[in-house]
Amino acid sequence: MTPRTLFRSLAFAEAVTWTLLLAAMFAKYVLDNEAFSPIAGGLHGFVFLSYAASTVFVGVNQKWSPATIFLGLATAVIPYATIPFERSMDRRKKLDGGWRLAPGGEAPAGFAEKIQAVVLRRPAVSVVVVLAGIAVVFRVLLYLGPPVSLS
């Protein structure tokens, strides 16, 4: 999986889960049916966190500026904004190439690149660790409850 494939997949998934979340909100507030809200909200939250992790990971690999990484993260907060951001980065060739810090690639420089090099050396273990970390953050956020209560 290339940086482009990873980023494109999660940018699209983020947009899809926005659709589910908005549909669930419509059902809850217009149709007075809350059945879909926990599922759509939970799925969207998990994909949101995954998109955020992938934005930082791809941004480090592609040598995006901190401002570009922050902009990528901010697009997840605006419904459907991940798609135009991904397309813009692709058009500007900011998603081209492979994993530059993979074994046999460039030597890592700095803390973030060293972490990424470790992840790329052991991708299966790293995916499990990252997903577990996202799951822990997700669980804590579920425990804390929704960001606002309109009831």
Res. 130: pLDDT tops 60: yes
Evaluate if residue 32 carries a pLDDT over 90. yes
Compute the distance between CA of residue 50 and CA of residue 47 in angstroms, rounded to an integer. Answer: 5
Which residue type sits at 40? A
**pLDDT tens for each residue of 78-122:** 999 999 999 999 999 999 999 999 999 999 999 999 999 999 999
Identify residue 44 by its one-letter amino acid code: H
Domain boundaries, the chain: 3-144
Helix axes 82-91, 3-29, angle to 10 degrees: 160
How many whole angstroms separate alpha carbon 2 and alpha carbon 87? 16
pLDDT exceeds 80 at position 74 = yes
CA-to-CA distance for 145 and 60, rounded, in angstroms? 31
Which residue from 33, 8, 11, 9 is spatially nearest to 23, judged by alpha carbons?
Answer: 33
pLDDT at 87: 98
The confidence score (pLDDT) of residue 149 equals 60
For the chain, the residue count is: 151
> Tokens 């980065």 appear where?
89
Task: Give 148's pLDDT tier (boundaries 50, 70, 90).
Answer: low
